[in-house]
Structure 1
């Protein structure tokens, strides 16, 4: 198999990268739409979303384990033939990781222009962010993995401090009665967030051969999904406990509103910047990873030896897509329910289809 990069990462680094990727946009956005549908039971919906995500990861890992040493691009071409395989991968890259990258960039611009820098043109924010992302993607997977190891302890520390300071403001009555309207609303609320961010793990198949101990890939992915999922569950539960489900549902970024509630002896206040640091660190990493896999995927499809010269034109297109696809915050919230039916096509049906084809043709690559 032609490799576009010789870098290797460890199983531990894969776990940390998965955690940061899962937190990404979701830690800021997820509680609101969950509370809109599931109300007081939003935290239960978050648990269900994580469980569905873990199940989808087992399917994704089964596909990766069947083709050790090959990327998703390589064995799609192997199973479907050269031209059909390349066409399918081109559709996958543009319609999933690259589309998610555009949506993620929009999340960054929307948050900064509404919460922190309202007078700054969103286009300027997009350009600055994409400069950082392109620089990170050019350095390659090893650099991203090592950077994740540096930032992860700080993200963990700041998140722990945030939880510690918010818990005294929690009111248990805000989540009672549990399942007042039955389990149906919690299930309906969980489906979009099973796709975002959990089913996006299929993109990791594009870097599977770059892990130095591929036999641990499944364990690393599931551990990352569970750790990241637990952080999202805790965040959602705290939003309901402190803000109440009605206020959580009204806020565009409820976890940022949650952080504003921190007040310790009228001395330690307005430290929501901690959440902003957590979110900016994780979402920029998420965007860089999506951009990286999109670039190496397109380079493979078109038979290129190098992916880095694609980064600048892809960045320019990404800025345009972020502006056109999601012109307002309300558009993004309208998209979230649709994502519950869109993401499974790539996160479940696509790997399942390849597994069925592999079983039918009995082509197991050793």
Structure 2
């Protein structure tokens, strides 16, 4: 759920802008790289199973340098959280509630986040467990329903512009999808009852999220075409309406 999130709405457009019809290849390469990063995260977490990320940084780099590194993580996570709330508010205002002020939507979404944090991580994760299967079922129905409208010519020819645009798109996607799960080291494995199962779930979840994004980015181009995908702020939503 974390991997897909708002990425499924907003990422296909810039990826298509970078890599054109090869955007799905960038998603494919990024998924492979993401699994390597997750393996690295699991190894780091297992080295210090009792410590969250901020304490690992202070232990490894010393108090002063560790605090400086932790401060950059705080600024990054804080700005990313604000950016995600803006994305969701902007999406709701643009497509569903154009007469509602964006600030009102952002305040509502921020209130949900604050309420969730107050309830605690176990409540949050168990809620995700409840939502996971229905979301997976809906995504499967969606993907199966849209396949008949796909046009294979929209992703041809492969590598028409060479490898450079694909590499650029892959690096962009890595920054959005692959690097951010390092924040899970704040809870993994120090807050997980069974770290081995947690590590396996971390790996499998990343793989499932990657597969979903590959399929959606590919179908965005197959169904909508390259130009519509690149110019639309939420091509996956436009495809869903079809």
When the two structures are superposed, what TM-score results if normalisation uses the length of structure 1?
0.64
SS at match of 1:181: coil
Corresponding residue for residue 71 of structure 2:
90
Corresponding residue for residue 153 of structure 2:
173
Say yes or no: does 1:140 pair with 2:120.
Answer: yes
In the TM superposition, structure 1's runs of 4+ consecutive aligned residues that sit over 3 Å from their partners are none
Deviation, 1:110, is: 1.2
User: Which of 43, 50, 54 is the equivalent residue of 1:69?
Assistant: 50
Deviation, 1:232, is: 0.5
Distance of 2:60 and 2:31 partners within structure 1: 31
Task: Encode CA deviations 1:172-203: one digit per residue, 9 max, x unaligned.
Answer: 11111111222221111111111112211100
Corresponding residue for residue 198 of structure 1:
178
Deviation, 1:74, is: 1.6
Task: Encode CA deviations 1:295-350: one digit per residue, 9 max, x unaligned.
Answer: xxxxxxxxxxxxxxxxxxxxxxxxxxxxxxxxxxxxxxxxxxxxxxxxxxxxxxxx
Deviation, 1:217, is: 3.5
Corresponding residue for residue 53 of structure 1:
34
Question: Which has the greater radius of gyration?
Answer: 1
Corresponding residue for residue 215 of structure 2:
234
Distance of 1:85 and 1:34 partners within structure 2: 34
Distance of 2:196 and 2:99 partners within structure 1: 50
Q: Cα RMSD over matched residues? A: 1.3
Deviation, 1:171, is: 0.8
Deviation, 1:90, is: 2.2
8 Å Cα contact 1:61-1:217 kept in structure 2? no
Say yes or no: does 1:116 pair with 2:96.
Answer: yes
Distance of 2:56 and 2:25 partners within structure 1: 37
Distance of 1:242 and 1:186 partners within structure 2: 20
Deviation, 1:114, is: 1.1
Deviation, 1:224, is: 1.0
Task: Encode CA deviations 1:96-142: one digit per residue, 9 max, x unaligned.
Answer: 21121011011111101111111110000011111111111101110
Distance of 1:102 and 1:147 partners within structure 2: 22
Corresponding residue for residue 78 of structure 1:
59
Deviation, 1:30, is: 1.3
SS at match of 1:51: helix
**Which segment is superposed worse, 55-64 or 170-179?**
55-64
Distance of 1:217 and 1:65 partners within structure 2: 11
8 Å Cα contact 1:43-1:237 kept in structure 2? yes
Deviation, 1:213, is: 1.0
Task: Encode CA deviations 1:47-103: one digit per residue, 9 max, x unaligned.
Answer: 112122222222222211111111112222222333432332122212x21121011
Distance of 1:87 and 1:40 partners within structure 2: 41
Distance of 2:218 and 2:60 partners within structure 1: 44
Report the number of matched residues.
241
Deviation, 1:25, is: 1.2
When the two structures are superposed, what TM-score results if normalisation uses the length of structure 2?
0.95
8 Å Cα contact 1:31-1:239 kept in structure 2? yes
Distance of 1:130 and 1:67 partners within structure 2: 33
Distance of 1:148 and 1:57 partners within structure 2: 20
8 Å Cα contact 1:31-1:42 kept in structure 2? yes
SS at match of 1:22: coil
